[in-house]
Amino acid sequence: MELRGSTYFVKAPWKAELITYDDNAGDPSALYYLTISLDPQAGASLERLTIQQTRGADWNFPFAPERTRAFLGRPRREGTAVPVQATFSQRERLITVDFLEPVAPGSTVTVVLKPWTNPVTSDTYLFQVTAWPAGPQPVASPIGPATLRIYDRFPW
């Protein structure tokens, strides 16, 4: 929806699901799956996501933005690929994912993030997720936090 030259969501995404199937501290094979569902009445397509770490004991684990990918659907039920371009700022702990083909309202999209390794310290990590609509002068909509739990490799 455009209003005074800016683009807004009518019904913004409101939930971000973040999961990994490799949740051991220091695991080099980890992938993080961030899933967002757009309401059919969203009023705009999804053009960008920002994901910023806001909590967690380890602030030094880097991501490989060139290995970021996305698809329609949910983890383990992968659908059509969605082309993306990603950047990562270690200083800001910020991942930016641009959808080269904006995701249409009514779609569920999963972004696959690749850290070099999982954090080396077990903890609950929080990431603030923000959605940006496609269109001129987009106005960001905070989705909220996504939670990632990392466990000690040998808890006994």
- Please count the helices (runs of H) and the strands (runs of E) in the chain: 0, 12
In this structure, what token pair is assigned to residue 10?
A: 């009518």
CA-closest candidate to residue 58, choices 113, 154, 125: 125
82/56 Cα distance (integer angstroms): 30
Return per-residue pLDDT of the chain as tens, 156 residues: 556 679 999 999 999 999 999 999 999 999 999 999 999 999 999 999 999 999 999 999 999 999 999 999 999 999 999 999 999 999 999 999 999 999 999 999 999 999 999 999 999 999 999 999 999 999 999 999 999 999 997 655
What is the reported pLDDT for 5? 74
Question: Domain residue spans in the chain?
Answer: 2-139
Question: Was domain 2-139 assigned CATH 2.60.40?
Answer: yes
Question: Which residues on adjacent β-strands are paired with residue 142?
Answer: 130
What is the reported pLDDT for 153? 76
Q: What is the pLDDT of residues 60-103, one digit of tens each?
A: 999 999 999 999 999 999 999 999 999 999 999 999 999 999 99
The structure's pTM equals 0.94
Is residue 137 within 8 A of residue 48, CB to CB? The reply is no
Side-chain-facing half-sphere of 73: CA atoms under 13 Å: 9
* Residue type at position 130: T
What is the reported pLDDT for 2? 58
